[in-house]
Amino acid sequence: MSPSRQRDGHLNLDFTPLIKRVTKTNLLFITSEVCQMFGRYRGTVIADDGEVIRIDGLIGWAEEHHARW
């Protein structure tokens, strides 16, 4: 996937997806659709004090969620 970068340059991560999970709920007035990608992050994070933190293979997820209540 494409790298994630913040405009201030403090976040520079690549995400490699491993597993995709999609759930949908439709209960008339309540609907929800969630798409989650679980995978590994690699790159760098720069802390407010300037410390560069290297990330290599950190397991995590990214998701998109649409809901109506």
Task: Give SS3 for 10.
Answer: coil
Token match 């201030």: residue?
8
Structure token pair of residue 58:
């950190």
Residues 27-69: pLDDT tens digits?
989 999 999 999 999 999 999 999 999 999 999 999 999 999 8
* 7 residue type, one letter: R
Residues 13-25: pLDDT tens digits?
999 999 999 999 9
